[in-house]
Amino acid sequence: MNFKYPKNERLKSKTTIGLLFSEGKSVSKYPLRLVYRQAEENSEEQTKIGVSVSKKYFKKAVDRNYFKRVLRETYRLNKHLLLDNLDQSYSIMLFYQTKDRLSYEEINTKTIQLFEKFTAQINKTPDSEQKTEL
């Protein structure tokens, strides 16, 4: 299993992030929220992920950076839950949305639950679209 988080997996494109906010779909598992958007069909990009912590809840950059580091680490250790169950590439933003200071273990548990909820939603969506077309 590859537990790396290389640069080519990081979401850095301002246009892609803008599209996530305007056209993206969302999955939540308190206190985390995952916003995703399917990558363009013709692009050969792989799944990219970015993390964000609100300045509204954590005024000090030190605190925001700590939680961003924790989110990246939980993604790095649990990304196999996502990548093994996805058949297409996605752009994903992961948000920490509470002022509560949860421990690493709690955030890790919530991340796993969020990834499972996300893959369940992704895998059921094409089936429901096919049913409506018939």
Contact 94, 52 (CB under 8 A): yes
Q: Is the pLDDT of residue 127 over 60?
A: no
What does the pLDDT look like over 21-75, one tens digit per residue?
999 999 999 999 999 999 877 666 788 999 999 999 999 999 999 999 999 999 9
What domains appear along the chain, each with residue ranges and CATH number? 7-126 (3.30.230.10)
**Distance, CA of 67 to CA of 63 (rounded, Å):** 7
Mean pLDDT of 119-126: 81
The distance in angstroms from the start CA to the end CA of the chain is 40
- pLDDT, residue 101, reads 95
For a pLDDT cut of 70, what percent of the chain falls above it?
90
